[in-house]
Each structure stands twice: as structure tokens, then as C-alpha cells.
Structure 1
Amino acid sequence: MKKFDTQEINHLISYRRAVYPVSFSGERIDDAVIEQLLENANWAPTHALTEPWRFTVFTETGLQKLANFQADLYKQFAMEEGSYVESKHQKLLDTPLMCSHVISIGLKRDPKGKVPEIEEVEAVACAVQNMWLTAAAYGIGCYWGSGGITYRLEALSFFGLEPNDKLLGFLYLGIPKNDWPAGRRSPIADKVRWVKE
């Protein structure tokens, strides 16, 4: 029995886009909307009900705290490795401040290890997709970035994560200042095989 407007759901899925922070207007999103994104994330599929997603929400002056932390950490390890680039450092300082909210995306490993890590990554990705679709439904720009400090062990504790956990990136959120971007996908028929007999 059909309980939802499936045409509307289909439209929402094809409407979702990556909207980059440089395209945000500076207008603030109501915290209640962010709470709804997080509630919807919590209903993602999860093998053995491990619910591995962990989020930290940065907003208001918390955005500056995030910017300073990631820029400082990047500078520290990049200088040691001889890979420092001033423009990357500046981008880490600037990008969070373009946003209304930034949500760190963490994976909390099940201490019993009963679920393979890849399945936990997949569960977190499903949670992020739930947030992203919800953001699109509200007309909120959203982008999942995984550069900078994302895969650094030194970053984990700042986001409430432990050494066996993973930081999988950041969800950047803001109100777009321009028209919603157009979508681009090649036909699904090019990516599917059917076996009927």
C-alpha cells in the first residue's frame, strides 16, 4: 500500500546537489532544521544496529573554533612533511566561516568488532545521504568535503572520536545565494545489467 507521494520523493532524490560554501549567502539556518537533518540521519540503515555515526555541529563562534583547529593542525603536519601550501591553510580558515553550520562526520567503531569496518562506513554514508536529502528538501545548500585534516589521527579527539574511530569529513551547510545548480548524470542504463533467466 502506497503511503507517500512517490513522485515527490523521486523528484527530491534527483534534486539533491552539492552546493559549495562559496555559493552560500551568509544567512543562518534555524537550529531546528539542523536537528531534523540529524534526526533523519539517525534512521539510516545499520547492520547489527551499531548506529556508528557520530556528529559534532559547529555554528556561531564554534565555526571559528573549527577553522582555527583545522588550519593549525594542517600547518603543523604539512610543515613537518614539507607539503605546506599557504592557500590550503587559508582555505581551512575561511571555509567554515562561509557556512551557517558545519557538521563533522565521524564513525564510531563497535568495540566488539562484530561488523566489518566497510559496512560501518556505508552506514555513515547512508546517514549523510539522509541529511543531504533533507537539506535539499529545505532548500539548504550542502556539501560533503573530505580534504584537509579529515584522515589525520591527530584530529580525532577534537571531534570526540577515539583512535579506532574514523573522521570521514565535514558537511558544510548554508543558504544558497544563487539558483539551485543543474544536475548531471549519465543514463542509469549504462550502469545496470538485468538477469531474468
Structure 2
Amino acid sequence: MNRPVFNIEEVNKIIRNRRSLFVAQFKENDPVEDHIIQELLENANWAPTHKLTEPWRFTVFTGEGLHKLADFQSQLYKERSQKNGNFIEATYQKLKENPLKTSHIIAIGMKRDLKANLPEMEEVAAVAMAVQNMYLTASARGLAAYWGTGGPTFWPEAKPFFGLEEEDKLMGFFYVAKPNMDRWPQGRRGPISEKVQWVRE
């Protein structure tokens, strides 16, 4: 295979203009086509992965599947919070209603390959890079998307619902929808010079 030729200006443009857009900026009742979601997932599959463990696992919720996720996470929140005496009705309603305002929600899992004998951090980083590939693809498509770690992300008892074992990790949810506006958010970053040291000698 010959070395591919890339358009570096376009690469820089998509990386520097990737943005997170949230539920309030989602266009409701106008779903993204499944083949575009499949494109996001295919690009995620080409993230770097040490020893080719490919630890990313995705569960895609759309259509009636969004109701299934909404019911699961809101009910689990209710059970957990009532045990602890800190139930908040607004949180319950948000968990029950927000999934229904989006087109697709992709649950992000890290499947641990214990035989590979890799530090967990490397597997978490591989999944994060897979999500970045989805982020870039979504932005290139002009879609609204963000990675959230709310709801059941850190609840161990939620893992089986997403096909994960005890040693695996649920790393949050990637929300995708069409935007309800034409304006693209302005980015904010401090100068890279403040975050880099060069050692030349």
C-alpha cells in the first residue's frame, strides 16, 4: 500500500473546530441517519490500541431504545438515591427525559483483556481516542454531539445492562443529534506555549 496523502489544512481545521453541543442545542424529532452513526463507529474502530486489544465496546440506543435507556437509568437512580435518602426529583426527570431529546446515544464501554497484561490506563486511553474519532467525524458532518459521564456511568450495578463485566468500565455516553441552530460555537483554549517545555540539550 502506498503512503496515503492527506490534506493537512483540512486535518487541522477539523481538529481545531471540533465542538461539544449539548441537549439544549439538539434538534428534536429529526433523527440522524443510521449509516452516519455507523460511519462514526467505523472511525472509532481505527483508534490506536496497544497489542490490538481493541477494548472499545459500544451500545447504540435510538428510537424506542432511547426509552429503554431512559427508563433504566432513571429507575436505577431512584432506587440508589432512595436508599441513601438523597432523591432529587429534578435529577430523576432529567435522566428520564433527556435521552428522548436526542437522535442516538452511544454507551461507551472499555472491555478489559486481562490476558494482554496491559495497564488499565492504556485501555482507557484507547477508548478515549476512539471517542475522539467519533467526535471529529460528528463535527465534520455538522452534527451536535458531546461525551457525558452522568447518570449510571460510575454505578457498578449498571454494567451488566451494557454488556460489561466487573473488571470492565462504563466510560459514559456519546450523544448525537442534528443541531437546532446554524451558528457553530467559538472555541476557547489557552496558548500551547504555556503547556509545553522543550528540552534540546
Which TM bucket (shorter chain)? over 0.9
Query: What is the identity, as a one-letter code, of the residue corresponding to 1:84?
Result: F
4+ residue runs of structure 1 moved beyond 2 angstroms? none
* SS of residue matched to 1:55: strand
Please report the RMSD computed on the Cα atoms of aligned residues, expressed in angstroms. Answer: 1.1
Pair 1:22 & 2:24 matched: yes
Q: Counterpart in 2 of 1:188?
A: 192
Match of 1:64 among 67, 78, 91: 67
Q: Any conservation in 2 of the 1:21–1:173 contact (CA below 8 Å)?
A: no
Q: Any conservation in 1 of the 2:53–2:116 contact (CA below 8 Å)?
A: no
- Decide which moves more: 147-156 or 109-118: 109-118
Distance in 2 (CA, whole Å) between partners of 1:92 and 1:192 is 40
Distance in 2 (CA, whole Å) between partners of 1:41 and 1:2 is 19
Distance in 2 (CA, whole Å) between partners of 1:67 and 1:49 is 33
Distance in 1 (CA, whole Å) between partners of 2:185 and 2:82 is 37
Pair 1:51 & 2:54 matched: yes
Distance in 2 (CA, whole Å) between partners of 1:189 and 1:29 is 39
> 1:113, CA displacement in angstroms?
5.0
The one-character-per-residue Cα deviations of 1:103-139 (angstroms, maximum 9, x if unpaired) are: 0000000031511111110000000000000000000
Distance in 2 (CA, whole Å) between partners of 1:145 and 1:189 is 29
Q: Counterpart in 1 of 2:163?
A: 160
Distance in 2 (CA, whole Å) between partners of 1:102 and 1:50 is 24
* SS of residue matched to 2:13: helix
Query: What is the identity, as a one-letter code, of the residue corresponding to 2:67?
Result: Q
Task: Mark the runs of 5 or more structure 1 residues left unpaired by the alignment.
Answer: none
Pair 1:124 & 2:127 matched: yes
Pair 1:136 & 2:139 matched: yes
| TM-score computed with the length of structure 2 as normaliser | 0.95
Task: Mark the runs of 5 or more structure 2 residues left unpaired by the alignment.
Answer: none
The one-character-per-residue Cα deviations of 1:133-185 (angstroms, maximum 9, x if unpaired) are: 00000001111000121011110111111111110100011111122111111
Distance in 1 (CA, whole Å) between partners of 2:187 and 2:142 is 15
> 1:86, CA displacement in angstroms?
1.0
Q: Any conservation in 1 of the 2:51–2:116 contact (CA below 8 Å)?
A: no
Distance in 2 (CA, whole Å) between partners of 1:53 and 1:30 is 22
* SS of residue matched to 1:169: strand
Percent of pairs with identical residues: 54
Distance in 2 (CA, whole Å) between partners of 1:11 and 1:45 is 21
Q: Counterpart in 1 of 2:154?
A: 151
The one-character-per-residue Cα deviations of 1:18-47 (angstroms, maximum 9, x if unpaired) are: 100121012210100000100000000111
Query: What is the identity, as a one-letter code, of the residue corresponding to 2:92?
Result: H
> 1:82, CA displacement in angstroms?
1.9
Q: Counterpart in 2 of 1:94?
A: 97
